[in-house]
Amino acid sequence: MLHTARTLKCKDDLADKRVLEKFEIEKVYWERQGVDWGIVTENEIPKTLAQNISSILRYYDLNNIEGFQNLEESEITDISIHMINLLLRETAFICTVYLTGCSSNNRAKIFLC
């Protein structure tokens, strides 16, 4: 299995000689570990993706959301599973709408894979 590591840095910071020296050390470390290493800047990350991640990141730990602090861990797990299932069904519905010309059996096979 090929492992991958990426360092995130603003492109303007790559002009700093000391930053580049540190990245060279990091690169050598990851190469010795057999890991594919690289640098990612804001140019490689689509803005919509970054905005979507930012929007959902605050829900990573439901205990930080008002009304969830007094729930048991098992209750939060149950709610999480329910919400994931709703999201998957909604995603499947949206994808189905765009798959014009497919029979319902073909759609089911696509979403079960």
Q: What is the pLDDT of residue 108?
A: 37
CB 45 within 8 Å of CB 70: no
- Full-model pTM: 0.47
pLDDT tens digit at each of 113 positions of the chain: 578 888 888 999 999 999 999 999 999 999 999 999 999 888 888 888 888 888 887 777 777 778 777 888 888 888 888 888 887 776 665 554 444 444 444 433 333 32
Q: What is the pLDDT of residue 106?
A: 41
For position 42, what pLDDT does the model report? 87
Helix pair angle (104-112, 73-98), 10° resolution = 140
Q: What is the pLDDT of residue 91?
A: 65
Both structure tokens of 46: 């689509």
Could you give the CA distance from residue 56 to residue 51 in angstroms, rounded to a whole number? 9
Q: Residue 20: its pLDDT value, please? A: 94
Residue type, 12: D
